[in-house]
Amino acid sequence: MRISVLVVFTAAVIFACEDVSRQQQEPVARALGSYLYREDLAGIFPANIDQADSTRIARQFIERWIRNQLYLRLAENNLPGGDKNVEKQVESFRASLLIHKYQQYLLGQNMDTIVSMNEINNYYDTNPGNFVLDRPAITGIYMKIPLSAPDRDRLLAWFRGDNDLIRLENYAARYSGEHLFFGDEWAYINDVFGNLPSGSREPPGGIPGLDHISVSDDEYQYFIGITGYLPVRSQMPLSLASRKIKTIILNQRKIKFLNELEKSVMAEGSSKNYFQYFQ
């Protein structure tokens, strides 16, 4: 309940602070004795938004403001006196928010965010147990082809041919609505089959003995050719693990940076006698 009061109080502080100059502006809404002005809506709209979406976002914003004002009235009129004293909570929230913003600013200015492939490879090689597939992965090709495209019956022969990958790539470039050639990059099987029409997205059983699948809807033929398969609990390929490894390395750098920042802040405060402990 106190958290709800804090949210309402904070919203009221943001939206209900009026001075003489604001009172001369045209309001866009009123709730009880408070007014919301057009300038309060500045910054809530994403770039390149159309009129319909901007109207919808503005309406949602205004309705949320009105709802908060009504909640605030109920809270002030019905909460016991002690529960309405949220100044300390607001100050604590403000301090935490400013500290967090400052830390993020320093991270953005000073932390190296480039992770080399050498770092990724080293982490992958030294932590093999951390990278195990929780779902099957495949390599191969995916194509979405209009039913009006010619020579669709030759796709399987080209796929199985020893030197026909170039033919498939040329065909995809000319006729395919969507295509992906991932013979060297592993992909999760559910992600690939998720491109198929509804009702065909569940990968079939016995994948190791299946080299292709082809399904159609009213407009397209969908072709998936499978060249490699890894079952659940296999070692996760580096191509799938690399993004996870990059996130881990960056998080490690962030923790190290913030720990060093904290030590630096405390050391400076101590050297300049900014604080002391009282027994």
Question: What is the number of other CB atoms lying within 10 angstroms of the CB of residue 241?
Answer: 22
The model's confidence at residue 204, banded by pLDDT at 50, 70 and 90, is: confident
Quick one: 74 and 161 in the same domain? no
Could you tell me what percent of the chain has a pLDDT over 90? 54
> How does pLDDT run across 139-161, given as a tens digit for each residue?
999 999 999 999 999 998 898 88
Among 39-48, 77-86, 104-113, 208-217, name the most confident range.
104-113
Q: What is the pLDDT of residue 100?
A: 95
In-domain check, residue 7: yes
* Range with lowest mean pLDDT among 119-128, 183-192, 203-212, 248-257: 203-212
The model's confidence at residue 1, banded by pLDDT at 50, 70 and 90, is: very low
- 235 pLDDT more than 80: yes
In-domain check, residue 255: no
- 206 pLDDT more than 70: no
Closest Cα to residue 63, out of 75, 55, 51?
55
In-domain check, residue 244: no
- 61 pLDDT more than 80: yes
CB-based burial label for 24 (10 Å; 0-12, 13-18, 19+): exposed
Q: How many domains does the chain have?
A: 2
In-domain check, residue 181: yes
The model's confidence at residue 256, banded by pLDDT at 50, 70 and 90, is: very high
In-domain check, residue 91: no
In-domain check, residue 67: yes
Query: Cα(first)–Cα(last) distance of the chain, in Å?
Result: 36
Quick one: 143 and 218 in the same domain? yes
Closest Cα to residue 120, out of 239, 242, 240, 237?
242
Among the candidates 189, 204, 230, a domain finishes at 230
pTM of the entire structure?
0.66
Q: What is the pLDDT of residue 141?
A: 94
Quick one: 157 and 224 in the same domain? yes
- 233 pLDDT more than 50: yes
In-domain check, residue 210: yes
In-domain check, residue 117: no
| Residue 26: domain span | 2-80
Q: What is the pLDDT of residue 137?
A: 94
- Comparing 23 with 151, which gets the higher pLDDT? 151
Q: What is the pLDDT of residue 123?
A: 97
Find the helix packing angle between 87-110 and 238-271, rounded to 10°: 120
Question: What is the number of other CB atoms lying within 10 angstroms of the CB of residue 115?
Answer: 17
Q: What is the pLDDT of residue 266?
A: 94
Can you tell me the mean pLDDT for 184-204?
A: 88
Can you tell me the mean pLDDT for 47-54?
A: 85
Among the candidates 209, 230, 251, a domain finishes at 230
Q: What is the pLDDT of residue 24?
A: 63
CA distance 230 to 216: 26
